[in-house]
Amino acid sequence: MTLAPIFRDTTAEITPTRSTIVNDRLLRACRRLPVDRPPVWMMRQAGRYLPEYRAVRARSDFLGMVRTPDLAAEVTIQPVELMNVDAAIIFSDILIVPNAMGMPLTVEEGVGPRFPEPLRSATDLGRLREIEPEEDLAYTLDAIRLVRRELHGRVPVIGFAGAPWTLAAYMLEGGGSASFSVAKRAMHAEPAFLHALLDKLARAVGVFLCAQVRAGAQMIQLFDSWAGALSPADYRTFALPALARAAAIARTSGAPLVVFPHGAPWMLEEVAIATKADVLGLDWRVDPVEGRRIADRLGIAVQGNLDPATLLAPPAVIRSRTRRMLRELDGPGYIANLGHGITPEVPVANARVFIDTVREYETRYEEAV
């Protein structure tokens, strides 16, 4: 499938279709409304495990795909067509926000994302500008509009952004890190600098999420991928206030908001309360029973949380583990997902076993709660 022929001469003319959503399980679950079965989608579902994705990737580098609306839309739609998932998450990357703020970004095969000119002190804050999403990140917004038009309301479209702490860590380290020593040094030696950076990022992330909703996204997710790198005390002092500010801006969009504090099961309830999230994302480290307890006590939805490595197991094991997850997490407002992104080495057939197992499950909670 290729979407290129539908263009005339500019993506600026693309507007999302405002049709009724045919499959609205995801949006109903976000509001704890009755569904016939849990909706299911996978983080990184548009990715290298799919041969069709790899065929598109052969025509462009990663950032080229992200920045080309028709390519981003094509791979976004692939899992809907091929895997029968209940949502399409836009193909993008969390680091496009700091890139739009003025930080050069590279993504090399086998190396990963890098900022060649990382931030090092408060004087570097002057290099960062406030973003105007409709101009600086127009390619992602155009891709969302295009996906909405092509799907004709079949399933909802999900937009996303990285949380302020996660983005700050990348910007300070210059890339991924095992220890986050540079970011933590700034936290201890120049706390005012880190707070100022987080403030800038909170606003940028919030306005970008709102722009995605205006473009047609019907659910949005905040990924705090490096939440687990901080102690509870440091997370409360630095990361959580900025995350809450970003969420407060994002909530003005009116779309359901998922917050996913990866690697920080000890912060789940505090994160949910501080952000007023509609949906709490659980990684595979979280006890599903505890995740369900928190969601029910706060009256919110919950998403997760199968270990992605389970998809490397034999099909019988995948089915067994998925059914156990469903039994433990099923209830008002449950969205089935992995506890992190699907990995490139997962066989497509195994991913289908996971999706099909959820689709065959009959929820015990069809009545409104």
Positions marked active-site: 44, 48, 57, 93, 170
SS3 351: helix
How many Cα atoms within 13 Å fall on the side-chain side of residue 249? 23
Report which of 164, 262, 256, 143 is spatially closest to residue 206, judged by C-alpha positions.
164
Radius of gyration of the chain (CA): 20
Alpha-carbon distances, residue 90 vs 48, 181, 219 (angstroms): 15, 32, 11
Task: Residue 253: count other Cβ atoms within 10 Å of its Cβ.
Answer: 19
Residue 245 near residue 279 (C-beta atoms within 8 A)? no
The residues facing 224 across adjacent strands are: 261
SS3 306: strand
Residue 244 near residue 274 (C-beta atoms within 8 A)? yes
- DSSP run (H or E) holding 274: helix 268-275
Starting at the edge strand found earlier in the chain, the sheet holding 219-224 runs: 88-89, 157-162, 219-224, 257-261, 279-281, 301-306, 334-338
